[in-house]
Amino acid sequence: MEFRSSARRLTSAEAARLRYMGQGNVPPPPITRSTGQIIRENVCTLFNLFNVLIALALAWVGAWSNLLFILIIALNTVIGIVQELRAKRQVEQIAVLTAPRARVLRDGALRELPVEELVLGDVISLESGRQIPADAKLLSGQVEVDESLLTGESDAVRKAAGADLLSGSVVVSGACTARVERVGADGYAARLTQEARAAAPVRSELLSSMRRVTRFTGFLIPPLGVLLFLQAYACGENRCSRR
């Protein structure tokens, strides 16, 4: 969202109207599934249903000793859930913007507000040690900013009036006022975060190996389970054990 630079400060009423119009600094929606979705998608599968039906059939004919296979199925499901929950947590911990609040010129006064309450066109005050909460255009003053988290550039970058300030960078010296130019998902830090979160997280090699073994074993179980059921149904577990 672009905004033509202006020195005029916004009022609370104008800010509320801009938020209503979708021009607030709302963080982008999460790209990961919820914990409930992960559990549901790992438990409620056709493969698990088929194995549960086999287990019920074996229990019906009294072949209790043949039900140990269900432990492998349960282990495979649990490993899958743990692996995906760990990946979800790693993805959600990726964040460029960490400053919870920003100093905003609102209604002619300087206020400390949550960064989520910033809107397009807000005038913010920045000083040494503060993280830039949204992409902005420097209006007055001079600052040096650390953009290493965004660009990898280790040296501080000097910014003067008219320069662009990237969200996620940190003011290391000086002070300035700046007007918010982009908010929410359009901000540089938000786009960078989404790109990082979209990348596949590194998974535990141990968990991955265990998942491969249990998955391979799990696919051998259904045909064996059917054979065990047919055997138990035909002759009865007790009678077969006496032979």
Q: Report domain extents, the chain.
A: 12-29+98-185, 35-94+199-242
Measure the CA–CA gap between 167 and 27, rounded to whole angstroms. Answer: 13
- Which of 64-68, 174-178, 209-213 holds the top average pLDDT? 174-178
Predicted model pTM: 0.59
Calculate Rg over the CA atoms of the chain.
Answer: 29
pLDDT of 71 above 70: yes
Specify the pLDDT at position 6.
46
**Closest C-alpha among 51, 126, 34 to residue 88:** 34
* Fold entry, domain 12-29+98-185: 2.70.150
Answer with the residue of higher pLDDT: 75 or 174. 174
Residue 165: the pLDDT is 93
Partners of 114 in beta bridges: 101
Q: What is the pLDDT of residue 232?
A: 64
pLDDT in tens, 153-192: 778 899 999 999 998 899 999 999 999 999 988 888 888 7
